[in-house]
Structure 1
Amino acid sequence: MKLVISIDVEEEGLFSGKYSRTPPGVRNVSHLDALNFVYDEFGFPLTLLTSYQVAQDDAASNMLMRLRDERGAEIGAHLHPWNTPPIEDLGPEPVRSDDMPMELLRGKMATLFEALEQRFGKPATSFRMGRWDFGKQIETLLPEFGVLVDASHAPLRYVRRGPDRFLTPSYDPYLLPAVGDLPRVTEAPLTMLPVFAPSARFTHALAKLMPTGIKESILANYSAIAAAGIQPVWYPSPSMRWAARLHRMRGGNVLIMFLHSSELMPGHSPNFTNQEAVERLIEKIRHFLSWLTQSGPIQGVTLSELYKRAD
């Protein structure tokens, strides 16, 4: 099996429920050092999906380049449209990507990808959309910007007013539909699986028959009640191990993990308010990786290294 550990490397303040065009800073990026053990102890590289605000900061960018040059990390792209130029007032943020004029969204993508290439010296070829807001317009734009692998799909999760990705295939990477003659993008969904395989489709169909409030409640609670995943912030350790076992039993070959850089900085996310909580998260990841390497052959790869597997 292959394992991707992806980090949304981004500015602070996002867990406050506000989407500022002038975020408070990117100091959390320095806390990525807490994950050095992932490479030093296990040999697994990180995929650092980087926002525009981080790319504009010298200290944060230097940190990412060190992780790339010394520990084999990949630097990819992470779009936060609410603070990536060009900026237009379209109403309360976050405005959904499919509700933006296409040329405005294309302009934001261009700003992000140009900033990353200028700062880091090579084009970004992996991508994750902020707020899991992977709509049709983003899907259409990715090949235009040279993206090989996207990781914006979180199966079995319900995003209010967002694209319905609940039934995204949750096993291994697959190819997205072609856009003209451009190379097809590989989708690498987060590893989140129904404990009882048929229950996801049944639950989704049942929820669609219900009034809006009941539908949203059913879908929003499914991932916590009836699913297992290897996401260390969303799932307890037993669920992480069970998800990896299920994935292997069902023929899966690729595991995709994610977390936010700000979750490594005490006080910048609701689940990790102090250093002790952050240290528990780090130990949880370490113990899972140790168990994973002992339970069967596993190879750490970056997101873009998955591209040829699905092509």
Structure 2
Amino acid sequence: MTRWGKRPTDVADRAGPPYRVPPPVARDLVVWPDAFGTRFMVHVDVEEEFDWSRPFDPADRATSAMRAFPAAHRRFVDRGVPLTSFVDHPVVSDPASVDILAATLADGRSAIGAQLHGWVTPPFAEASPGDGYAGNLPRALEAAKIASLTDALTTAFGAAPLIFRSGRYGIGPDTIDLLAARGYRIDSTIRARYDYRGDGGPDFRAVGSAAYRAGPLVELPFTTMFAGLMRHRGAGLYDALGAIPRARGVFARAGLLQRVSLTPEDMPIRDALQAVDAAVESGLRLLVFSFHSPSLEPGHTPYVRDARDLARFWRWWDVMLDRLDALGIAPTGLAEVIDASAV
């Protein structure tokens, strides 16, 4: 296994059966107002640095990559793009990082949300620090961790966060109810069309990229589309190919079918542009992009290992933002999305 290989599965992650997120019914889909048009959001998982190939460690709380955040924020704001920052416990516990993030709110559209990394968020129970998916925790412990993180963010930024993400897409059967009890309005944990059962996580294969109402909250899935000549056969064909060794890779290389999330991290720009075209073709009204804050500085993630990778990261954004502008897809911020989804 390379240093940046797949993270080992923790025993605690396998404690219960995988959670299969049910697909929304038609009446639960968000109907965006005509004035909203087609828009996009940029989400940032603002988190500590850690070795992605090693077991989770509650002592991993370094936040040195945050020094790159102000310049990155300026680059996005110069293009009119607000950032929605999903901040976890190590970051909100660091005064310098809090000052950096507080400054981003001065643009009037960027926002602070919560990101729960269970292994570094108190309270800690004997088996909990290594839990990779917070939704697998006992309800009371997941609730306590959500409360701890929410209270820390409220104290640091003077307002309670309204949008939440469970790290590693770790939603569970209790998560939505627990968030509603704390006043959250939006969850954005789901990575559409992905399946983490092999690592003890949830199954999102039945969930597409459209925003929908999940009880009292709105769910904003991380946008994933199928690209390629056979994209209209989508999830059914992709699942079938998964049963055949290397079939998905063959179909992707042949330009027939590929699953693409809207992120510069391990998603080539050519594929991502095809995914945007597929999203527009399907009538998707809100596109959700995402990346991890440690990718803003080389050496902290498998996606940005050196200066060349970082330059590629920023070229990806330049090309993508140009395409979105050409398509008339405007950037939007959290407050605008909350207002539009409440109609």
| Alignment match, 1:272 | 304
Hey, what does 2:261 align to over in structure 1?
229
Residue of structure 1 in register with 2:280 after alignment: 248
Q: Deviations over 1:25-78 (max 9, x none)?
A: 1111121134221111x2110000000111110110000001111463101000
Determine the structure 2 residue equivalent to 1:307. 338
CA distance 1:299–1:203, shift in 2 (3 Å): closer
Q: Which deviations, in whole Å up to 9, do the C-alpha atoms of 1:186-225 show, x marking residues without a partner?
A: 1111111123133303443786xx6xxx79x889999996
1:257 to 289, 294, 307: 289
Which whole-Å deviations, capped at 9, do the CAs of 1:136-160 have from their partners, x for residues lacking one? 1212211111111111111122212
Instruction: Report the residue type matching 1:282 in the other structure.
Output: W
Aligned partner of 1:181 in structure 2 is none
Cα distance in 2 for partners of 1:72, 1:92 equals: 34
Are positions 1:126 and 2:126 aligned together?
no
User: What's the TM-score once normalised by structure 1's chain length?
Assistant: 0.87
Distance 2:89 2:290 in 1: 19
In 1, are the aligned partners of 2:162 and 2:185 still within 8 Å (CA)?
A: yes
Instruction: Tell me what 2:233 maps to.
Output: 198
Partner of 1:67: 104
1:298 to 329, 333, 340: 329
Q: Which runs of 5+ in 2 are unaligned?
A: 1-37
Give the SS at the match of 1:136: coil
Which residue identity does 2:204 align to in structure 1?
R
Matched-pair contact (CA < 8 Å) for 2:43–2:289: yes
Q: Secondary structure at the match of 1:82?
A: helix
Q: Residue 167 of structure 1 aligns with which residue? A: 206
Cα shift at 1:130: 0.5
The answer as to 2:217 corresponding to 1:185 is yes
Whether contact under 8 Å (2:136, 2:172) holds in the other structure is: no
SS class of match (1:61): helix
Identity over the aligned pairs, expressed in percent? 25
Counterpart secondary structure, 1:234: coil
Across the aligned residues of Structure 1 and Structure 2, the Cα RMSD in angstroms comes to: 2.5
Which secondary structure does the structure 2 equivalent of 1:15 belong to?
coil
Measured against aligned partners, the alpha-carbon deviations of 1:224-260 in whole angstroms (never above 9, x if no partner) come to 9622332111311111111111111111111100000
Tell me, in whole angstroms, the C-alpha distance in 1 between the residues paired with 2:118 and 2:189. Answer: 14
For 2:233, the aligned partner's letter is P
Residue identity in the other structure for 2:232: A
| C-alpha contact (below 8 Å) 1:85/1:108 kept by paired residues | yes
Which residue identity is paired with 1:297?
A: G
1:55 corresponds in structure 2 to 92
Secondary structure of the structure 1 residue equivalent to 2:127:
coil
1:140-182: CA deviation from partner (whole Å, max 9, x where unpaired): 2111111111111111222122111122122x21111x2xxxx
Corresponding residue of 1:90: 127
Match of 2:152 among 112, 115, 120: 115
| Whole-angstrom distance in 1 between the partners of 2:122 and 2:43 | 25
Aligned-pair CA distance for 1:277: 1.4
State the distance in 2 between where 1:153 and 1:134 align: 7
Hey, what does 2:13 align to over in structure 1?
none
Indicate the SS of the match to 1:201: helix
Tell me the CA shift for residue 135 of structure 1.
1.2
Structure 1 gaps of 5+ residues are: 179-183
The 1:155/1:222 distance shift into structure 2, 3 A limit, reads farther
| Deviation of 1:133 (Å) | 0.7
Q: Is the 8 A contact 1:80 1:130 kept in 2?
A: yes
Q: Which amino acid aligns with 1:299?
A: A
Question: Contact 2:82–2:332 at 8 Å: present in 1 too?
Answer: yes
1:132-143 equivalent positions in 2, closer than 5 A: 132-143=169-180
